[in-house]
Amino acid sequence: MRLLINNLAVFQEGDSSNIPIMFIHGFPFDHQMWNKQVSAFKSSCFCISYDIRGLGESPAGDGQYTIESFVNDLEKIIDELKLEHPILCGLSMGGYISLRAVERMEEKFRALILCDTKSEADNNETKLKRAAGIKRINNEGIQKYIADFVPNCFAKESIEKLGQEYISILDRSMNSDPIGVKGCLLAMAGRTDTTEYLSKIKIPVLVLCGEKDTLTTPDTMKSMAGKIKGSEFTIVPGSGHMSAVENPHFLNEKIKSFLKKIIS
Ligand code: MLT
């Protein structure tokens, strides 16, 4: 079911009396990247996914975003849906949002699943890359920018294997509002570093990283997991940065056993 909350497209599946799990997508994608997780968990969990402001079906508005404003959006959805201690599951930019949300209001959450993401803020080189991306979108249009960015998010073999599914993901990203995409680039460039909070996290954490992820590498993620007491770290075989799409079966099994442990 599609809802509009705070002008954001929010999607809920499953019985609202089950444990809520919120899926937060990466950049420059939309909630549909979680389709295979929602299908797998909707019979046991109350699954909520949404389009981050400016992406997918959520209008861009003025494009003036920060990770802080994205966390405000997340909080608004939790409050509107009256979700009791949801489990947060974020991939990449969705992970940046999740980590800051946990740093800001950990008591609201039951557990955290971090896929292909990191706690460090952008270094100068990455900030300059974001600036170059914005310039490119302004000068050459969104499609050229997306056509270069998106293939780097997938392992080469996955692009071939996914075929039409990959093309649909790419098409949806290409149709994004340039104001929204530029707003997300600025939000990511301006985000805070959440590394210091990692050792203070008390809720259970599962960390998953694609074996072939070149954007947030297994080494980076393993070191992040090492800073989170009691966290579980797993490599997703054959996957690039988009583990939820590239190896959904493996990811779902890992999430399933994590949920079993934290719920029982
Ligand atoms: C994402 O997948 O959300 C982005 O690659 C994150 C980033 O560019 O830092």
177-223 pLDDT, tens per residue?
999 999 999 999 999 999 999 999 999 999 999 999 999 999 999 99
Q: Residue 107: pLDDT above 80?
A: yes
Distance 28 CA to ligand 1 centre (A): 7
Determine the distance from the C-alpha atom of residue 94 to the mean position of all C-alpha atoms in its chain, rounded to a whole number.
3
Distance 18 CA to ligand 1 centre (A): 30
Task: Kindly state the tokens that stand for 67.
Answer: 């990770």
* 3-state secondary structure (DSSP) of residue 37: helix
Task: Kindly state the tokens that stand for 40.
Answer: 């797998």
Q: Counting atoms of ligand 1 from 1, which one is nearest the CA of 242?
A: 2
Helices (H), the chain: 35-41, 67-80, 93-105, 124-140, 142-149, 156-162, 164-174, 178-189, 195-198, 218-226, 243-246, 248-263
Q: Treating both helix axes as pointing N-terminal to C-terminal, what angle do 124-140 and 142-149 enclose, rounded to 10 degrees?
A: 140
Question: For residues 264, 15, 41 and 59, what is the CA-based torsion angle, rounded to 10 degrees?
Answer: -130
Q: Is 26 in the pocket of ligand 1 (CB under 6 A)?
A: yes
Q: Is the pTM of this model over 0.85?
A: yes
Q: Counting atoms of ligand 1 from 1, which one is nearest the CA of 122?
A: 9
Q: Residue 247: pLDDT above 90?
A: yes
Give, for ligand 1, the residue of 24, 27, 169 to mutate: max count of ligand atoms closer than 8 Å to Cβ. Answer: 27
* Measured distance between the N- and C-terminal CA atoms of the chain, rounded to whole angstroms: 29
- The pLDDT tens digits for 123-170 are 999 999 999 999 999 999 999 999 999 999 999 999 999 999 999 999
Given this model, what pLDDT does residue 229 score?
Answer: 97
Give the whole-number percent of the chain exceeding pLDDT 90. Answer: 99
Give, for ligand 1, the residue of 23, 33, 34, 93 to mutate: max count of ligand atoms closer than 8 Å to Cβ. Answer: 93
Whole-angstrom Cα distance, residue 164 to residue 261? 36
Q: Is 133 in the pocket of ligand 1 (CB under 6 A)?
A: no
Q: Counting atoms of ligand 1 from 1, which one is nearest the CA of 25?
A: 3
Given this model, what pLDDT does residue 263 score?
Answer: 87
Mean pLDDT of 96-110: 98
Considering only CA atoms, which residue is closest to atom 8 of ligand 1? 27
* 3-state secondary structure (DSSP) of residue 187: helix
Whole-angstrom Cα distance, residue 154 to residue 138? 25
Distance 150 CA to ligand 1 centre (A): 10
Given this model, what pLDDT does residue 97 score?
Answer: 99
* 3-state secondary structure (DSSP) of residue 83: coil
Whole-angstrom Cα distance, residue 77 to residue 80? 5
Considering only CA atoms, which residue is closest to atom 4 of ligand 1? 27
Q: Counting atoms of ligand 1 from 1, which one is nearest the CA of 95?
A: 3
Q: Residue 233: pLDDT above 90?
A: yes
Closest to 231 measured CA to CA, from 197, 263, 199: 199
Contact between 164 and 89 under an 8 Å Cβ cutoff? The reply is: no
Q: Residue 70: pLDDT above 80?
A: yes
Whole-angstrom Cα distance, residue 210 to residue 156? 13
Given this model, what pLDDT does residue 237 score?
Answer: 98
Q: What is the longest distance spanned by two Cα atoms in the chain?
A: 54
Q: Is 179 in the pocket of ligand 1 (CB under 6 A)?
A: no
Mean pLDDT of 61-71: 98
Q: Counting atoms of ligand 1 from 1, which one is nearest the CA of 26?
A: 3
Q: Is 93 in the pocket of ligand 1 (CB under 6 A)?
A: yes
- The pLDDT tens digits for 21-53 are 999 999 999 999 999 999 999 999 999 999 999
Q: How confident is the model at residue 264 (pLDDT cuts 50, 70, 90)?
A: confident
Whole-angstrom Cα distance, residue 257 to residue 147? 36
Q: Residue 57: pLDDT above 80?
A: yes
User: Mean pLDDT score of the chain, rounded to an integer?
Assistant: 98
Closest to 66 measured CA to CA, from 183, 193, 194: 183
